[in-house]
Amino acid sequence: MHREGIGLAIPPQEKGGLETKLGTEYQTIDRLFDRLDGPAYLENDTLREEEIDELCTTILSILDADPSLDHIFTDPKKFKLWNRLSKTAYKCLKQTASEENARRLSHILGRTIKIADPETNISPADGVLDNLVDRWPWSDSKYAPKHTSLSEKNEAVLREYCNQFGLDAESLFRAWFASHQSINFRLGTKDGGWHPVQTALENCLEMRRLERHRPGAPKMLVNDFGVHCFSRYPKGMLDDQIDQMEDTETPHGVVITSIGDHNGISYAGQSVNSLRSLSDQAKKLGLNIRVIETNGKVDLLKKLLFLDRKYHRSSGQKIKFGIISGHGNEEVLEIGMDRSAVITTEDVLTDEFRTASKRFFETGAYIALNSCLTGKEGKLAQQASASMPNLHFVASPDTVNSVIYTLTPSGEGGAPPRLSVSYQSRFKPRKKSMRSYQGGERK
């Protein structure tokens, strides 16, 4: 079939269409893509490399000609264009053998995936995200085992996507794969597992939703609070945190989550639901919640220092309650990407931990450990309570599959609320356990 050159001028439309102008070469974007998205160009993988090259140049000139296309609040009338852009770029990316064209197409897709409909929050490029998981083969990656890794092209698209938010793709990739390395924990993919790539895509979509809530929100959560795994939390919880960013007067508690999570339990429905209930209870008691994610003891200290400088010094208030979530056993609690990043029974007995407990936490504050086995007699939680008698420690002596948090007023003016936790083990489904310690004694 004879093809006219892509660069030829196109007659103006007589009716309708998008009216974004590209000077004299193309009269309207709408007519241009009616032409380029047709069967003569894209069906049966028929584009030649030189045509893909020219198409890349054309699409990028369109994007650069209309700055409004690069924002989350794009005019809904332009979604027809965005849909064509993403579909066209995706088809070309599968075909191209040129590294330069693959780079340019990845950049285009990264920009289209960011955009969402202001009314429905649906993106014309949502299908592209799904295709990254379902249709492309996996290859070697330094972020995950071979059978779950991103292909080079998939990885390039997600890297460009992260760049749209001013975030470092490398740090996000490391966090997302460290936060869910298991392929057997959840059902959802065709082989019965749940690929870490799917977790990355869920985080991408949640990052986009947060950006829509407030421009710059994902970058603020990453830089200030260390939050990388956005889809771990119920919708609204991180939104509230952003909205309350400058609220230094309202008392608050903290939810501290280890970035590392080998089986992805922090993404599970029961985990999300428990945080949703906690958030609702805190609001009723007039408390804010600050979510932070940690990658080791030094990082945890930095995050607590940030909270201290921003929220405690001006108001004189300290943290009213805390939850620390991570895998663990009788002697350790994981708080980072690497399993060597842990709090140990030796750590909690040090002067550094005792000083931090008095500086950052209100006297009498409850600290709940959402971790397996840390509540056993004489082990981590009880040792911590003996070393830091100004705090109450709540933990489970068994393995933990799910938790239910209950916040209640202390009954004393200005005192921290009581925090109790119902821990349930998947190995003992009928047994719910909680151990509470203060001053080294079981309460």
Neighbour order of strands in the sheet with 432-433: 402-408, 418-424, 432-433
Mean pLDDT, rounded, of the chain: 80
Interval 128-158: pLDDT, tens: 666 665 443 444 444 444 433 346 777 788 8
Q: Where are the beta strands (DSSP E) in 376-440?
A: 392-395, 402-408, 418-424, 432-433, 435-438
What is the structure's pLDDT at 122? 62
Alpha-carbon span 191 to 170, nearest angstrom: 28
Q: Reduced to 3 states, what is the DSSP secondary structure of residue 288?
A: strand
Distance (Å) of CA 141 to CA 184, 269, 425: 19, 28, 34
Task: Check whether 7 has a pLDDT greater than 80.
Answer: no
Rounded to 5 degrees, what angle do the CA atoms 269, 188, 181 make? 75
State which amino acid sits at residue 415: A
Task: Check whether 338 has a pLDDT greater than 70.
Answer: yes
What is the structure's pLDDT at 92? 81
Alpha-carbon span 313 to 307, nearest angstrom: 9
More confident residue, 350 or 158: 350
Alpha-carbon span 384 to 439, nearest angstrom: 9
Task: Check whether 380 has a pLDDT greater than 60.
Answer: yes
Interval 192-233: pLDDT, tens: 344 566 777 788 888 888 988 898 999 999 999 999 999 999
What is the structure's pLDDT at 8? 33
What is the structure's pLDDT at 69? 67
What is the structure's pLDDT at 436? 96
Interval 170-182: pLDDT, tens: 899 889 888 886 5
Interval 279-335: pLDDT, tens: 999 999 999 999 999 999 999 999 999 999 999 988 888 999 999 999 999 999 999
Mean pLDDT of 351-358: 96
Q: Reduced to 3 states, what is the DSSP secondary structure of residue 412?
A: coil
Q: Which residue carries 């209870």 as its tokens?
A: 281
CB 328 within 8 A of CB 342: yes
The pTM (predicted TM-score) of the whole model is: 0.83
What is the structure's pLDDT at 200? 78
Q: Where are the beta strands (DSSP E) in 241-360?
A: 252-258, 288-294, 319-325, 332-334, 342-344
Distance (Å) of CA 107 to CA 79, 151, 189, 388: 18, 16, 27, 51
Interval 21-35: pLDDT, tens: 444 334 445 555 555
Alpha-carbon span 95 to 397, nearest angstrom: 56
Q: Where are the beta strands (DSSP E) in 157-316?
A: 252-258, 288-294
Alpha-carbon span 228 to 204, nearest angstrom: 10
Give the H/E segment covering residue 421: strand 418-424
CB 345 within 8 A of CB 333: no
Neighbours of 159 (CB within 10 A): 18
What is the structure's pLDDT at 408? 96
